[in-house]
Every structure is written in C-alpha cells, then in structure tokens.
Amino acid sequence: MRGKQAPKRHILPDPKYNSPVVAKLINSVMSDGKKSVAQRVVYDAMKIVEEKSQKPAVEVFTEALKNVSPILEVKSKRVGGANYQIPIQVRAERRQQLAFRWLLTAARAKKGKPMAIKLSSEILAAAENQGDAVKKKQDVQRMAEANRAFAHFAR
C-alpha cells in the first residue's frame, strides 16, 4: 500500500428519518448523481414497508439489514501454486455495504414494477429471513463454512 490512507468520510443523516444508514442506502440507490430521484425511491419504499408491516419503517429496515449482513466470507489466496478459498470475518462497514448491494441487486433483478415497490418487497422479505438477498447471504456463509479447513492459511 503506497501513500497514506484516504480519510474516513462521515456521512450526514438523511432529512426524513435522521438516520445515517438510510442516507447510505439512498447513496447506494443513486445512479448518475440523481440524489433526489434516489431519495424519492427510498422514501416511497419505506412508506410501503410501513403500511404493509404496521411497524416503523426504520425498525423493519434495520431487521432486514441484520438478516442480510454476512458474518463470514471467502477470500482467494494463493499458497504454493494452488488457490484456496479462505474464510475470513467481514468488517462491519463491508458487512453493511454487502447487505446494501445484495438488497439492491435482488430488487433490481425483479422486472415490471417501479423500483420503490421492488425495494420495499425485498426489504419486507429480508426482514422475515426470506428473499433473494438472504439467499445470497446464506450461499456466502455456506461457502465459508465448507472451506473452514483452509482457515489456518489466513493471516
């Protein structure tokens, strides 16, 4: 690693829910710098989540994030001419980022509905430990568990 590490940027909480996690979700949804469009999508999705679950939207969203966040993942490492998939623990920031990525990928994969509806359905499914994002997390965890024998290569 050359040079110095980039300074950690602190993100401002979003205006409606006053939550930095929701602000990060908005930034993840955003494409081409259109933040107002991303905000509208996320806030509409949160409204739908609130209506369907009869609970505060942020509470349901945090539960969904907790269910989608991986604890272990595999990292490829070359040892003596062979590549091994080594299970490693996921840092908290990366865990959150992976959860966002998997939620959004699962929502975008669905066709024929507005993004707010797709995102809300994926959040609701993840809060109940179902859906494509949770399946992705389980696949990653299963892969790490299967390669536990190579954990001694980790450093």
86, containing H or E segment: strand 82-89
Chain segment 20-33, per-residue pLDDT in tens: 999 999 999 999 99
Chain segment 123-139, per-residue pLDDT in tens: 999 999 999 999 999 99
Q: Give 103's Cβ-side CA count (13 Å radius).
A: 36
Give dist(CA 7, CA 46) in Å, integer: 31
Walk me through the domains of the chain, giving residue ranges and CATH numbers.
20-70+92-134 (1.10.455.10)
* Average pLDDT rounded to a whole number, residues 111-117: 94
* Average pLDDT rounded to a whole number, residues 139-150: 92
* Average pLDDT rounded to a whole number, residues 113-130: 95
Q: In terms of Cα–Cα distance, which of 105, 101, 96, 104 is closest to 70? A: 96
